[in-house]
Amino acid sequence: MTDILIQQVGFISEAKAWQGFLEQFEYTDFYHTFDYVYLESLRINGAPKLVVVNMPSGLVGLIMIFRKIPGENKHFDATAVYGYNGVLTTSALTATDYHLGIAQIKKALARRGCVSFFNRESAFTSQRLPEATEAGNTIAVDLQQSPAAYEQSLAEGHRQEIKSLIKLNYRVTNAQSEKQLAEFKEIYNQTMLRRNAGAQYFFSQKYFKAILENVHTSTVLKMVYHNDQVLAGAIFTTQGTNLHYLFSGSANNPAPYPLTKLILDQIIRENLQKDKQKYLHLGGGLAGKNDGLLKFKFGFGKTVLPFYTTQWILLPEVYTRLSAHVLTETSFFPKYRSV
């Protein structure tokens, strides 16, 4: 449903039209669905937008959330959803039309008064924004491999601890009830508190419920029980060809070994060699760092994917004016939101 003129930029915010455009792109996933972007826009008090330009050889699209800037009436900025955003393209789009389309989107945003845009790239979309810079790595598990190949690639420490947990009668089950969701939220919060996570990493039960009820995806909450006590949980979702590991948490001092290992092992084995399922994307380390979390994930999947971010300053004079009160150097973007 291409209802925008050639080289005209459209700003889509209505669910039906949004999903209609998504059906035309070469690759889309959970992070691009209207339900998720709308949910994210509510969380950060913004407005969901699918920005699309119709070039002669195809479409170029970007998911954004427009945010008001305190004290500004004529200007706003845009950011990506929590997760992996990525630029959207149709399969026949030429390289020339791609770059011209990106330029058109930038001009249209600036004309509307958008000061800046921050984007996190998807590892699976076929194009990256021209200004993207590498910010670390993420890990994926190849779901097309055989169970024997997966078993061989699994880190020895992971394998032994998973076997021990199974012998100790820790079990994984799919959760559905409101009570189980509340229990997951509690243990997720415990995990974030242990990690000294910032406020942006805490979510309401209503938020998690909306994730599970996204009509455009298939989402599951897996919980670990021991002696009828909930000790850990994780949420996974799929839309299209890849499965995504979204959230996980465990209770304080829940078991002799990390229970997330048991959950990940089970969902990997359940999805090996399934039709159309290519990867389980586990994500990266904290803030893209090569840390213990990244090493933990690497023990399950040896597919290392680069992680990129993009920072656009669309109205430089306004950006400089808004940032003038920030006296210390910071890598936070946009700079004027760092304090």
Residue type (1 letter), 4 = I
Strand (E) positions, the chain?
9-12, 46-55, 58-68, 76-79, 88-89, 114-120, 133-142, 171-175, 218-226, 229-238, 242-250, 279-284, 303-313
pLDDT in tens, 212-267: 999 888 999 999 999 989 999 999 999 889 999 999 999 987 789 999 999 999 99
**206 assigned to some structural domain:** yes
Contact 294, 284 (CB under 8 A): yes
d(CA 232, CA 224): 5
Contact 282, 138 (CB under 8 A): yes
97 and 152, same domain (yes or no):
no
47 and 124, same domain (yes or no):
yes
Which of 277, 299, 325 corresponds to the end of one domain? 277
271 and 150, same domain (yes or no):
yes
**287 assigned to some structural domain:** no
CATH of the domain at 48: 3.40.630.30
55 and 79, same domain (yes or no):
yes
122 and 161, same domain (yes or no):
no
**225 assigned to some structural domain:** yes
Which of 258, 277, 296 corresponds to the end of one domain? 277
91 and 73, same domain (yes or no):
yes
**215 assigned to some structural domain:** yes
**302 assigned to some structural domain:** no
Which of 225, 256, 277 corresponds to the end of one domain? 277
Residue type (1 letter), 49 = K
152 and 122, same domain (yes or no):
no
205 and 226, same domain (yes or no):
yes
Domain that holds residue 122: 9-135+308-337
249 and 149, same domain (yes or no):
yes
> 271: which residues sit within 8 A by CB, 6+ positions away?
143, 243, 277, 280
92 and 208, same domain (yes or no):
no
Strands 279-284, 242-250: parallel, antiparallel or unpaired by DSSP? parallel
pTM: 0.93
Q: What is the pLDDT along the chain (339 residues), one digit of tens a residue?
A: 556 767 799 999 999 999 999 999 999 999 999 999 999 999 999 999 999 999 999 999 999 999 999 999 999 999 999 999 889 999 999 999 999 999 999 999 999 999 999 999 998 998 999 999 999 899 999 999 999 999 999 999 999 999 999 999 999 999 989 999 999 999 999 999 998 888 888 999 999 999 999 988 899 999 999 998 999 999 999 988 999 999 999 998 778 999 999 999 999 999 999 877 899 999 987 666 677 888 999 999 989 999 899 999 999 999 999 999 998 889 899 999 997
162 and 257, same domain (yes or no):
yes
Domain tally, the chain: 2
Position 28 scores a pLDDT of: 94
**297 assigned to some structural domain:** no
**312 assigned to some structural domain:** yes
**232 assigned to some structural domain:** yes
150 and 267, same domain (yes or no):
yes
